[in-house]
Amino acid sequence: MKHTKYLPLLLITALLCNCKSKETTEEAASKATTPVTVTTVQNTAIGEEITLNAVSVFQQKNIVKATSGGYVEKVFVKIGDVVQAGKVLYILKTKEAEALRNLAQKDSTFHIKGEMIVRAPAAGVITELAKSMNDYVADGDELCIISQQNSFAFQLSVPFEQNKYVHVGGSCNLLLPDSTLVPGTIISKLATVDAVSQTQNYIIKPASKRYLPENLVATVQITINGKQHAQVVDKNCVLTDETVEKFWVMKLINDSTAVKVPVIKGISTDTRVEILSPKFGKDDRLVNAGNYGLPDTAYVKIGK
């Protein structure tokens, strides 16, 4: 009977201990920290861009032709050579001189060369070489092609619906396959549209003295919407819902607590996003890693 009267007291004590343990567990869980990294808001320029393809071309080419029939006696150039105007390209011997060669060997008083010197009509690069040593050429046959280096440009194909974003006189950047970035200027546009692809071609003059080959494909970035002064954050800072209708960031209110702040975003690029509202201070810190899945108020631990 003595032990029975202490039984309710033992039960109450056990319940109180159990509740206290549960509260301690819940409190510990509520204060569980998530490792994160943070960044600040920047006031800088941002622009939305489209990427198009451009192909290098020589707009002016000089086709060097034979002025008379004969044989190629000497060739002084090869494909890829850079020549100046007036440089000797070929020496041709007329077919009449070739026919009289044997007679000239027998009679020392008979002098006939019958040589024709072919010179470069303009400076440029030898891009085609049609005739070699001892080849026969007829009057008007093509000997070689000189592409004028000062006519080198890139031909940009623009879908007609994006025509409004490309303007003659505008600047752009050409990204070459070797990752070289070359600035360029749009100098003109062609008056025709491709019937199949419905693209219009623009001519871009690169600001580079480097010798580049023809048919080189480059990518061109055209800014279609930009601002010089905008509130810009790392793209990883901005989170969204499943319907991509609501956007928010996690802002630190102290060194260990981050809260959810709804935002309205503007221009977006591959790495950055413009925040239209609210306005953040230059010292405000936003979570840019570890923010996915955090509740409206979260305990965090700032890492490096």
Q: Is 217 exposed, middle or buried (0-12, 13-18, 19+ CB in 10 A)?
A: exposed
Where in the chain is CATH 2.40.30.170?
Answer: 49-58+151-226
Q: Does domain 49-58+151-226 have CATH number 3.40.50.800?
A: no
Q: Dig out the tokens for 227 from the structure.
A: 């601002």
* DSSP label of 294: -
Nearest to 127 by CA among 110, 105, 112, 142: 142
Q: Where in the chain is the domain with CATH 2.40.50.100?
A: 62-147
pLDDT for residue 16: 46
Tell me: domain 32-46+228-302, CATH 1.10.150.50, correct? Answer: no
Query: Confidence band (pLDDT; 50, 70, 90) for 299?
Result: very high
pLDDT tens, residue by residue, 44-79: 989 888 889 999 999 999 999 998 888 999 999 999
Amino acid 270: pLDDT: 84
Which pTM was predicted? 0.62
Q: Which CATH architecture does the domain made up of 62-147 adopt?
A: Beta Barrel (2.40)
Dihedral sign of CA atoms 134, 135, 136, 141 in order: negative
The mean of the pLDDT values for the chain is 85
Q: Which residue has the higher pLDDT, 197 or 15?
A: 197
Give the residue range(s) of CATH 2.40.420.20 domains in the chain: 32-46+228-302
pLDDT tens digits for 220-244? 988 888 888 899 999 999 999 999 9
What angle is formed at CA 75 by the lines to CA 70 and CA 76, rounded to 5 degrees? Answer: 145
The strand pairing partners of 92, in sequence order, are 72, 116
- pLDDT single digits (tens) 123-172: 999 999 999 998 999 989 999 999 998 899 999 999 999 988 899 998 88
Answer yes or no: are the C-beta atoms of 238 and 246 closer than 8 Å.
no
